[in-house]
Amino acid sequence: MTAEQPGIRYQRIRAPRSHGESLVQPSPLDAAGLIAENGSRFSAAGDCVLGHRGLKLDTLRRQAREDILRIVQQHVSNYCDASNLPVTHGPVIMTGHQPALYHPGVWFKNFLADRVASRVKGIAINVIIDNDVAPAPSISALSGTPDDPRPARVAYDQPGPRVAWEMTYVASLETLRSFARRVEETIQPFVAQPLVTHFWPQVIREVESGKPLGLAFSAARNHLEKSFGLRILDIPLSQLCQMEWFCRIAANILSNARGYRYAYNHCVHQYRDVHKIHSTSHPVPDLGEEDGFVEVPFWVWTKEIASRRGLWVSVSLSKLVLSDRESWQIELPHDDDLVASLQALTKNGIYIRPRALMTTTILRLVASDLFVHGIGGAKYDQVTDEISRFYFGMQPPIFVTSTATAQLPIERLNWSPNVLREFDGRLRDAEFNPDRAIDDAMEDDPKWQSLLEQKSRLLANVPKFPEKRLWHRRLQEVNSKLRNEIAEPVARLRIERDKIARQLQQKQLLTSREYSLLLFPEEGLRNLLLDLAEKAI
């Protein structure tokens, strides 16, 4: 397989618009070929230093694989029978997402990763990105009727502090327990048997056993996947962050913070230039430097202050000073004990977790043989690719981009936005060119014809200044009389236009691809995502 050209290039990736369509790139998807190419890149970069004290990529990858296969078995056994879990020496096909109640297009990544792993005799792993901040505890839904749909939100918990999923526990068991019933009542006019009915009892069991909300969602989803025949396994990112190999990578970045910051910002600026982005927050903010501290691509929070903050480091020969530049600071030894010190932080109530680009750097370069991204990750990981080349000196592994579009099974009018544009054009004519905005019945009206003749004479004899001012006033008067003559048909036109606008809004509401997987009929959604994954490979 030919290696792609280095450097960030403009790319436009869009989710499919129609129900039952998927996006998978590269296409056709030669999973075995991609894994072989990535294997060649890993071998060529085996001597690249990614870990503290010169630890090389090939050593880190061996350590990561051993830990991941062990941890994933332990994690899954916490909520289901682990006796038949796949144990393989084949490639690791990995994907990941926040443990939210996301839409089916996100879920499709798990189906595709599972099918790819099955095809190449590997193991599919979904990394639960539990270091992201949990959103407001509710999902979007539909209320009303199919003829008069209205947007709605259904809460699964009471609002609380905005902290990472890892730290998010249920505030109101009563709200959680009644969620499925309230969703069923809200969506009933549209979907008779939503997936939430089967899904939610497992969520309640997991929460009552003491799990954070994100892990409860993930366990219920993974249970459902197993009932579908999928063999994908879950692993929380928070657990990987405590492994020695992970802390060796973090220690390397911390020790070389200034150089990494330069490479990171350089690649982010290149992405902005190529994509003509002016915002300083996209795709990610720059890493800063002030008062002897350098910002690094990690988050930090503590048991006492659970809000997520940026991590800064001051480096000297004997120590590293870690700080949030607000209210927290700690010193760590800058020696061979640094890795063990980082490993011990979580037990002491200090949580250091990677930001988005750092997460995908580690998962793609060290933890997997092939990574399956969604659209957002695929766009921004052009920066990760360039960091791999610019800072680590290695050709980055190829990844897969995937998503799908599923719409709720609701009958709806097939109006096109073009119809509304046609009505708007006719209404503009009624205002500025009323002679174009009439129906055929007006053509035989003598008064109408007289006004048209007056307008025609005026337009045929346009005077020069200063007479043009009087001419323009006369033209306006004729147009005003023409508008008065068509007031009734224009009123009917506006009523029809508003009716179509409402119907288009209803169509947009009914055809959204952003509704949670919980609102869909279980069998239909399962069959759709399985079929799309099979077709992709």
Tens digit of pLDDT at every position of the chain (537 positions): 444 556 777 778 899 989 999 999 999 999 999 999 999 999 999 899 999 988 999 999 999 999 999 999 899 888 887 677 776 789 999 999 999 999 999 999 999 999 999 999 999 999 999 999 999 999 999 999 888 899 999 999 999 999 999 999 999 999 999 999 999 999 999 999 999 999 999 999 999 999 999 999 999 999 999 999 999 999 999 999 999 999 999 999 999 999 999 999 999 999 999 999 999 999 999 999 999 999 999 999 999 999 999 999 999 999 999 999 999 999 999 999 999 999 999 999 999 999 999 999 999 999 999 999 999 999 999 999 999 999 999 999 999 999 999 999 987 656 666 777 877 787 787 777 777 666 666 666 788 778 878 888 888 888 887 788 888 888 888 888 877 877 777 788 787 777 777 777 777 788 899 999 999 999 999 999 999 999 998
Task: Check: CB of residue 239 under 8 Å from CB of residue 58.
Answer: no
Measured on CA atoms in the order 455, 457, 461, 467, is the torsion positive or negative?
A: negative
* Residue 366 C-beta-side C-alpha neighbours within 13 Å: 31
Question: Cα separations (Å) of 222 from 315, 373, 526?
Answer: 42, 19, 13
Same domain, 182 and 273: no
Residue 6 confidence (pLDDT): 63
Which strand (E) or helix (H) includes residue 289? strand 289-290
DSSP per-residue string spanning 483-524: HHHTHHHHHHHHHHHHHHHHHHHHHHHHT-S-S-GGGSBHHH
Same domain, 197 and 280: no
Tell me the C-alpha distance between 423 and 339, whole Å. Answer: 67
3-state secondary structure of 92: strand
Question: Cα separations (Å) of 6 from 225, 276, 306, 364?
Answer: 38, 19, 40, 17
Measured on CA atoms in the order 437, 438, 443, 449, is the torsion positive or negative?
A: negative
pLDDT tens profile 202-219: 999 999 999 999 999 999
Same domain, 258 and 297: yes
The total domain count for the chain is 3
Structure tokens at 237: 């990112």
Same domain, 342 and 252: yes
Same domain, 267 and 212: no
Residue with tokens 């989710």: 15
Q: Is residue 338 part of a domain?
A: yes
Q: Is residue 209 part of a domain?
A: yes
Last residue of a domain, one of 164, 195, 228: 228
Same domain, 167 and 223: yes
DSSP per-residue string spanning 192-258: SSBTHHHHHHHHHHHHHTT--HHHHHHHHHHHHHHHTT---EEEEHHHHTTSHHHHHHHHHHHHTHH
Tell me the C-alpha distance between 391 and 507, whole Å. Answer: 48
Last residue of a domain, one of 228, 262, 295: 228
3-state secondary structure of 87: coil
Task: Say how many C-beta atoms besides its own lie within 10 A of residue 467's C-beta.
Answer: 10
Task: Say how many C-beta atoms besides its own lie within 10 A of residue 48's C-beta.
Answer: 17
What is the β-pairing status of strands 350-354 and 370-373?
unpaired
Same domain, 270 and 179: no
Q: Is residue 178 part of a domain?
A: yes
Burial class (CB in 10 A: 0-12, 13-18, 19+), 54: exposed
Domain limits for position 216:
138-228
Q: Is residue 269 part of a domain?
A: yes
Residue 1 confidence (pLDDT): 47
Q: Is residue 50 part of a domain?
A: no
Contacts by residues 448-456 (CB-CB < 8 Å, ≥ 24 positions apart):
448/482, 448/485, 451/478, 451/481, 451/482, 451/485, 452/482, 454/478, 455/479, 455/482
pTM of the entire structure? 0.86
- Rounded to the nearest angstrom, the gap between the alpha carbon of residue 258 and the centroid of all alpha carbons in its chain is 30
Structure tokens at 350: 């200090």
Residue 349 per-residue DSSP state: T
Same domain, 252 and 342: yes
Same domain, 199 and 257: no
pLDDT tens profile 245-288: 999 999 999 999 999 999 999 999 999 999 999 999 999 999 99
Task: Check: CB of residue 169 under 8 Å from CB of residue 213.
Answer: yes
Contacts by residues 146-152 (CB-CB < 8 Å, ≥ 24 positions apart):
146/189, 146/190, 146/410, 146/411, 146/412, 146/510, 148/506, 149/190, 149/506, 149/509, 149/510, 150/509, 151/509, 152/186
DSSP per-residue string spanning 114-161: HHHHHHTT-EEEEEE-TTSBP--SEEEEEEEETTEEEEEEEESS----
Nearest to 234 by CA among 68, 65, 90: 68
The C-alpha angle with vertex 90 and arms to 86 and 93, in degrees rounded to 5, equals 80
Tell me the C-alpha distance between 207 and 260, whole Å. Answer: 40
Task: Check: CB of residue 265 under 8 Å from CB of residue 286.
Answer: yes
- Phi/psi for 315 (5° steps) reads -110, 130
Q: Is residue 176 part of a domain?
A: yes
Tell me the C-alpha distance between 75 and 202, whole Å. Answer: 16
Same domain, 218 and 300: no
Residue 425 confidence (pLDDT): 80
Same domain, 289 and 259: yes
Task: Check: CB of residue 399 under 8 Å from CB of residue 372.
Answer: yes
Q: Where are the alpha helices (DSSP H) in 355-411?
A: 356-362, 375-387
Structure tokens at 301: 């929070």
Q: Is residue 397 part of a domain?
A: no
Residue 89 confidence (pLDDT): 82
> Which residues does 389 contact at the CB level (< 8 Å), separation at least 6?
6, 395, 396
What is the β-pairing status of strands 319-323 and 309-315?
antiparallel
Nearest to 89 by CA among 123, 63, 115, 126: 123
Q: Is residue 316 part of a domain?
A: yes
Residue 487 confidence (pLDDT): 79
